[in-house]
Each structure stands twice: as structure tokens, then as C-alpha cells.
Amino acid sequence: MPFDQLDLKRAIAGDERAMQRLWSQHAPHIDAVVRRLCDDSELAADISQEVWMQIFRALPSYRGDSQFGTWAHRIAVNRTLNALRKIRRIAKLEVDIEDDSAITEQDSDRTFVAESIEQAMTKLSPGARTVFVLHDIEGYTHGEIGEELGITSGGSKSQLFKARAKLKKLLAHLVDESSTVAVKGKGYVAPV
Amino acid sequence: MSHLSEEQLDQIIAAERSREQAPLNEWRTVAARAREEGLIRDSQSSRRWASSQPWLQSAAAVLLLVGGVAIGRATIALPSAVEDSTVSATPPAMTATSANKPSGSAPSSASFASVDEASAALNQAVDAYQRASEFLAVNNASVGSGDSVAMYSARAAALDKIENATVSALRTAPHDPVLNQYYLATMGARVATQQMVARPVGLRGF
């Protein structure tokens, strides 16, 4: 049953069942973006809790101008990036944004057998990873990413280009004959 | 090692985008944190929300009274505990609309000097209704056949449908007084019907 205005009022009033319904409906997508932005599952779980507390705190300010999921998603991205900044990962990222060739090239000679794109993403530099997740998976524009990360639109495009180039290399085994996972036509079979 | 093409990478990204993933935490973990921060106020807050609507309380009381009388009269042809000419053997949802009409034994709305006075009269009427219902439940053994069980079951099923319809409508208009009256009347009638079904044969009837 979809979350609706009545549930929203109850959730604002502190009704646990309404809050749980909201969480159940949106947690898979909200938590997914948190997980993708972090490369550490424990950290992602902690940040996810923070994200949900922020969503619940901000519920009274939700005006219904956009879909609830879109509104909550924006909170998730902001909160996650803030949390990453706090633990100094973004500081590193911001340096990387200027020149992340060290990290990306450092890895270029190594052979990764990434089983999935999720694992492959952990091999990206923090900057490239963030831009890739926000642009290619979450659908942000380069302008929006620039605002979020405090970089230029061109910087975002550059990061995305590097991210995709590296992912194509990291995921190459998916088209190798010896691979157990194949990309054929439109089919993509995720590893079990 | 070969590289993926742009198209192949896009396919993988699309699959990743639509991939269902389990939440990172269990609800009880999130709930514990929310409770700690005072964001969850347990069930009392829901009651507080409801009780903060005076009309809701009044409507509940009136509809409990009128709906209950309607059920009793629809069930068996007994003199009503409250002589009310506005109540007839109609479905509970229909009786809800009569909630705003003055009860036959109660003073007319024009005679109330204040909200408190009207509320006190309402409370007295509800109390009288409850006591009369209890008396009739104990002393009236005229109805108690298998047919009445079937009738109560049919009524309960109908009330379930009405309840579902009103709940659905309330999602669109949660504060609509008319919808809330129907909902409360239905809920009251549903509970009363369940009690009748559960009551031993011979004690069914108000």
C-alpha cells in the first residue's frame, strides 16, 4: 500500500507504524544510493541511519512539491556527502577532483577481477565514484553534481569520463569467454 | 583483456540502477534510534492526535450511540433503549448520517448553552446506551438461532467492505468529518457485531 498524506501526517506525529511504512517503501532505493556512494558497508549502514533520522526530522517541511522519493533521495545524497566530508574522505576527493590520475593510474596496471559493478565501483577514486554514481545511476546532471561537490560542470564531466573508462576495463571480464557472467545483447546477469 | 563497449557498460549500469537491494539496517534498529531522538512517540501520540480533534471525539460518541441502537433495532424488534425516531433498520453507514440529528431523549441542540453542556449530555446518552445494551444482552434470549449467526457474519462482511471503502477515502481526505463519521460508525458496528457472533447462543441480541 503506498505511502500517502494520511501516513505522512501520522509519521510527523510520531506514529511508528506510519514511519515504518514510509521506511519500508523507500529504504531500498534510499539505502542503495548511500551504499553506492560509500565503499564501506558498515559506514554505509551508519550513514543510512543518519539519513533516515534526517528524513524523519524534516518530514514537517515536506510540502509535496515533488515525489516523496525524490525529496528523500535528495536528503540522502546531501547527508551522505556531508558525512563523507566529515570523515575527510571528501577532502581527499576534492584533491582527486583536481587530479586523480595518481589513484586511477596507480590501479591501471593491476588486474581486477571485479565480480560486479558494485565491486568495480570500489576501485574508482572517490571523486570519480561519486560523479559516476550521481550521474549515471542516480540521474543527476553535471550542473547539479557541480553544485553538490563544489566543482565545475567540466570537472564533473572529466571525472565521469575517467570513471567510465576505468569501469570498462574493470568489467571487461564480463565479455570474456572464460567469465561466468556475460553481457550479451541486452542481458546482464548479476553474480549470485 | 578486452574492454566493454559504451553500450555494454550502459546496459550494466541500467541493470544496476534497477537492481533491488535490501535496506542497510533493520527497521528495529532505525526505530530504536528514532525513539531515542523522540521522533517516535509510541501509540500515545496517535491517540493524542485523535483526541486533539474535539469533533472526532464527539462524532465517535454520537455514532457509537446511534450506530449501536440501529444495530439493535435491525437485529431484533425490541423497544429501543433510546427512543429515537431518527434511527431505523438501515445499514450502519447510513445511520452515520443521522449522527447530527438530535436524539429523541436528548434536548434539542437549541437548548444547549455551551459545548460543555452538549458534551455532558452526549456522555450521559452514551452511558445510558451502554448500560441498556448490557442489560438487554443479559436478559433477552429471544434470538439465538443459527440464522442469526449467518446474519451477523453477513453483516460483519458487509461492514468490512464499508470500512475498507472509508479507509481508502480517508487517505485522500483524512480530516473530512463526514468520512470520519462513517468510518467510526462502521468500526463501532463492526465491533458490536463481532461481540454478537462471539456471544453464546441465547445471549445474542441487545
The DSSP-derived string for B69-123 is: HHHHHHHS----SS--TT--S--HHHHHGGGGSPPTTSPPGGG--SHHHHHHHHH
Neighbouring C-beta atoms of residue A87, cutoff 10 Å = 13
Q: What is the pLDDT of residues A150-160, one digit of tens each?
A: 999 999 999 99
Task: Return the axis-axis angle of helices A68-86 and A142-149, rounded to nearest 10°.
Answer: 40
What confidence score (pLDDT) does residue B27 get?
Answer: 94
Compute CA distances B205 → A2, B14, B91, B137, B154, whole Å.
Answer: 40, 63, 17, 6, 16
Selected residue with higher pLDDT from A30 and B17: A30
Give kind and range of the element (H or E) at residue B5. none
Q: Kindly report the pTM of this predicted structure.
A: 0.51
Residue type, A97: I
Residue B35: the pLDDT is 93
Going by C-alpha positions, the residue among A138, A126, A132 that lies closest to residue A167 is: A132
- Higher model confidence: residue B134 or residue A158? A158
Q: For A183, phi and psi rounded to 5 degrees?
A: -110, 110
The CATH number of the structural domain formed by A89-175 is 1.10.10.10
In this prediction, residue A181 carries a pLDDT of 44
Query: In chain B, which residue's Cα lies nearest the Cα of A22?
Result: B27
* Comparison of pLDDT for A51 and A64, the residue scoring more: A51
Does B12 contact A at CB distance below 8 Å? Answer: yes
Checking if the pLDDT of A183 tops 80, the result is no
Q: Percent of chain B, pLDDT > 90?
A: 7
CB contact under 8 A, A9 and B174: yes
Alpha-carbon distances of A185 from A35, A180, A192, B2, B20, rounded to whole Å: 28, 16, 20, 17, 22
- Of the pLDDT bands very low, low, confident and very high (cuts 50, 70, 90), residue B104 is very low
- pLDDT value at residue A20: 93
Residue B28 — very low, low, confident or very high, per pLDDT cuts 50/70/90?
very high
Give A81-135 pLDDT, tens digit per residue.
999 887 765 555 555 555 555 454 444 433 343 357 888 898 898 889 999 999 9
Chain B residues near residue A128 by CB distance under 8 angstroms: none
- How does residue B162 score in pLDDT terms, banded at 50, 70 and 90? confident
Residue A182 contacts B where some CB pair is shorter than 8 Å: no
ipTM of the assembly? Answer: 0.71
Q: A32 vs B21: CB contact, 8 Å cut-off?
A: yes
Q: Does A98 touch chain B (CB under 8 A)?
A: no
* CB burial string B25-57: b at 16+ within 10 A, e below: bebeebbebbeeeebbbeeebbeebeeeeeebe
Over residues A156-179, mean pLDDT: 82
Pull the grid cell for residue A188. Answer: 546482464
Chain A CB within 8 Å of residue B15 CB: yes
In Å, how far is B12's CA from the nearest CA of chain A? 6
Interface of A with B in 37-66 (CB under 8 A): 41, 44-45, 48-49, 52-53, 56-57
* Chain-centroid distance, C-alpha A166: 17
Chain-centre distance for alpha carbon A100: 19
**CATH code, residues A5-86:** 1.10.1740.10
Q: What are the residue ranges spanned by the domains of chain A? A: 5-86, 89-175
pLDDT of B38 > 80? The answer is: yes
Residue from A4, A15, A40 to probe the interface with B (highest B Cβ count within 10 Å): A15
* pLDDT classification of A139: cutoffs 50, 70, 90: very high
What is the least distance, in Å, from the CA of B100 to any CA of chain A?
25
Q: For chain A, say whether B48 makes contact (Cβ under 8 Å).
A: yes
Q: Is the pLDDT higher at B88 or at B132?
A: B132
Q: Which residue of A has its CA nearest to B17?
A: A137
Task: Assess whether pLDDT exceeds 70 at residue A3.
Answer: no
Nearest CB neighbour to B3, from listed A7, A52, A172: A172
Quick check: A24 and B27 CB within 8 A? yes
R_g of chain A computed on alpha carbons:
18
A172 with B1: Cβ contact below 8 A: yes
